[in-house]
């Protein structure tokens, strides 16, 4: 008899034990094959075990695993240069996760105002239904009460307003405000894309009041929306943006990127990390970014996204219980009129791995090189399950 798990029960795990992955496919410990439309929550953007990243990691494992950030790291310099040359940023700070990256962004905003501009500003405005991480600061920044339960007292300095409510946003700005922080698609909050005109107004308010615009691109970055970074769809540039998830193709890594002069706020000793930017992590980042650029992966994702959306609309048109389909690129949400947990469980049983985004939304996150045949397979399963459930409900 298996003993009780030694792990903290912090995850409501699906009853599947995955042991192998390649491309768009995963296999469990019973040998069952699954089509992966979760990608580890937008992490394995190049598919499972991409060859170029694998080769880079194997090579690095034979050379150097870790060294202190007190020494120069050529891999960090190369990875940072790739990101800077292909974005609006001037500087990069490497860390371990999305929460780490968002913490760094929050700290940078405060320190810029307090040390560079010599103004005591510290408040960050975020939006209801947002998600920014699980550290004390980032869960306080998150606009969902459920992630904050039981963690009182929370750090001060965070204000939440409704998304797309310009008057509420304007009313929240005061002499203490340092930054406005938002996701371009609220992924965990229900796959809610930000309206372009609202983003322009946010940028204007930041410029008017001298605030930093921070974009959380932890889930939308690295080609997920059909551009290397989601902000590139808009005529707005952030002052700071954050990355993680797809940045290392499954190897844990995060990054905070900033323009000058905001980057000047971080000086030696002001922020640090032991494991951020290790030679191994950087080899994964370099191989991932180089592959995306060389193989035009974001462009391929944009084409696949159009095909996925057209197939979903055709398959689900008129199906009772489907409220709508929304998203950006290969971050797609099917909005249902009731909790989607049972439909998701049935899709898993039939071999398609998807994930919720809030109680009523089925979130689809295929890898960015997903084929039309794989999309057809996934949409066929989704259409069958949702149609069957609607028919059973009406019977």
Confidence class for position 224, pLDDT limits 50, 70, 90: very high
Confidence class for position 394, pLDDT limits 50, 70, 90: confident
Task: From 21, 71, 70, 64, select the one nearest 46 (Cα to Cα).
Answer: 21
Q: Are residues 161 and 216 in the same domain?
A: yes
In a domain, 160, yes or no: yes
Q: Is 104 exposed, middle or buried (0-12, 13-18, 19+ CB in 10 A)?
A: buried
In a domain, 1, yes or no: no
Q: Are residues 179 and 225 in the same domain?
A: yes
Structure-block tokens of residue 311:
């197939």
pTM for the model stands at 0.96
Cα–Cα distances (Å) from 214 to 116, 182, 186, 203, 227, in that order, read 18, 7, 14, 10, 18
Q: Is the pLDDT of residue 254 over 80?
A: yes
In a domain, 121, yes or no: yes
Task: From 196, 254, 216, 232, select the one nearest 109 (Cα to Cα).
Answer: 216
In a domain, 9, yes or no: no
> Which residues span the domain enclosing 222?
51-294
What CATH number should be reported for the domain holding residue 142? 3.40.640.10
Please state the rounded mean pLDDT for residues 178-199.
Answer: 97
Q: Is the pLDDT of residue 72 over 70?
A: yes
Task: From 388, 361, 348, 355, select the one nearest 35 (Cα to Cα).
Answer: 348
Q: Are residues 151 and 254 in the same domain?
A: yes
Q: Which domain-ending residue is among 241, 276, 294?
A: 294
Please state the rounded mean pLDDT for residues 350-359.
Answer: 97
Q: Are residues 63 and 161 in the same domain?
A: yes
Please state the rounded mean pLDDT for residues 233-239.
Answer: 97
In a domain, 6, yes or no: no
Provide CB contacts within 8 A for 164, sequence distance 6+.
Answer: 194, 195, 198
Task: From 216, 263, 264, 213, select the one nearest 239 (Cα to Cα).
Answer: 213
Q: Are residues 24 and 135 in the same domain?
A: no
Q: Is 11 exposed, middle or buried (0-12, 13-18, 19+ CB in 10 A)?
A: exposed
Q: Are residues 234 and 113 in the same domain?
A: yes
Q: Are residues 288 and 374 in the same domain?
A: no
Structure-block tokens of residue 141:
């920044």
Q: Which domain-ending residue is among 294, 318, 340?
A: 294
The reported pLDDT for the residue numbered 1 is 39
Q: Are residues 226 and 332 in the same domain?
A: no
Q: At how many degrees (to 10) do helices 297-316 and 372-394 cross?
A: 30
The reported pLDDT for the residue numbered 395 is 73
The reported pLDDT for the residue numbered 336 is 97
Whole-number Å distance between alpha carbons of 126 and 105: 13
Number of compact structural domains in the chain: 2
Whole-number Å distance between alpha carbons of 93 and 104: 8
Q: Are residues 99 and 195 in the same domain?
A: yes
Confidence class for position 2, pLDDT limits 50, 70, 90: low
Q: Is the pLDDT of residue 11 over 50?
A: yes
H or E stretch at 365: none
Buried b (16+ CB within 10 A) or exposed e, 112-122: bbeeeeeeebb
């Amino acid at each position: 008899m298996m003993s009780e798990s030694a792990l903290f029960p912090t995850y409501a795990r699906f009853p599947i034990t995955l042991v192998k992955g390649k491309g768009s496919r995963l296999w469990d410990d019973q040998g069952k094959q699954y089509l992966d439309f979760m990608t580890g929550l937008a992490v394995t953007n190049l598919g499972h075990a991409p060859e170029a990243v694998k080769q880079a990691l194997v090579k690095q494992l034979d050379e150097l695993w870790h060294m202190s950030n007190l020494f120069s790291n050529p891999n960090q310099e190369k990875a940072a240069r790739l990101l800077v040359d292909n974005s609006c940023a001037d500087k990069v700070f490497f860390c371990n996760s999305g929460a780490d990256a968002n913490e760094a962004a929050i700290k940078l905003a405060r320190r810029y105002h307090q040390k560079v501009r010599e103004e005591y500003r510290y408040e960050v405005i975020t939006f209801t239904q947002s998600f920014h991480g699980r550290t004390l600061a980032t869960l306080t920044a998150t606009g969902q009460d459920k992630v904050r339960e039981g963690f009182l007292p929370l750090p001060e300095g965070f204000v939440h307003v409704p998304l797309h409510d310009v008057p509420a946003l304007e009313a929240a700005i005061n002499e203490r405000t340092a930054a406005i922080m938002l996701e371009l698609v609220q992924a965990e909050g229900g796959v809610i894309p930000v309206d372009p005109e609202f983003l322009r107004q946010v940028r204007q308010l930041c410029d008017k009041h001298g605030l930093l615009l921070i974009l959380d691109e932890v889930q939308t970055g690295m080609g997920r929306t059909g551009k290397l970074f989601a902000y590139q769809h808009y005529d707005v540039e952030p002052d700071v943006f954050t990355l993680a998830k797809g940045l290392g193709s499954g190897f844990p890594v995060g990054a905070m990127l900033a323009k000058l002069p905001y980057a000047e706020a971080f000086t030696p000793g002001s922020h640090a990390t032991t494991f951020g930017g290790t030679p191994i992590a950087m080899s994964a980042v370099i191989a991932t970014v180089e592959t995306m650029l060389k193989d035009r992966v974001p462009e391929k994702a944009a084409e696949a996204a159009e095909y996925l959306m057209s197939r979903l609309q055709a398959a689900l048109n008129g199906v009772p219980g489907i409220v709508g389909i929304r998203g950006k690129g290969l971050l797609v949400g099917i909005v249902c009129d009731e909790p989607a947990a049972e439909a998701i469980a049935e899709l898993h049983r039939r071999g398609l791995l998807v994930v919720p985004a809030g109680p009523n939304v089925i979130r689809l996150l295929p890898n960015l090189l997903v084929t039309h045949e794989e999309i057809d397979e996934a949409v066929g399963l989704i259409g069958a399950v949702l149609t069957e459930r609607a028919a059973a409900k009406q019977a």
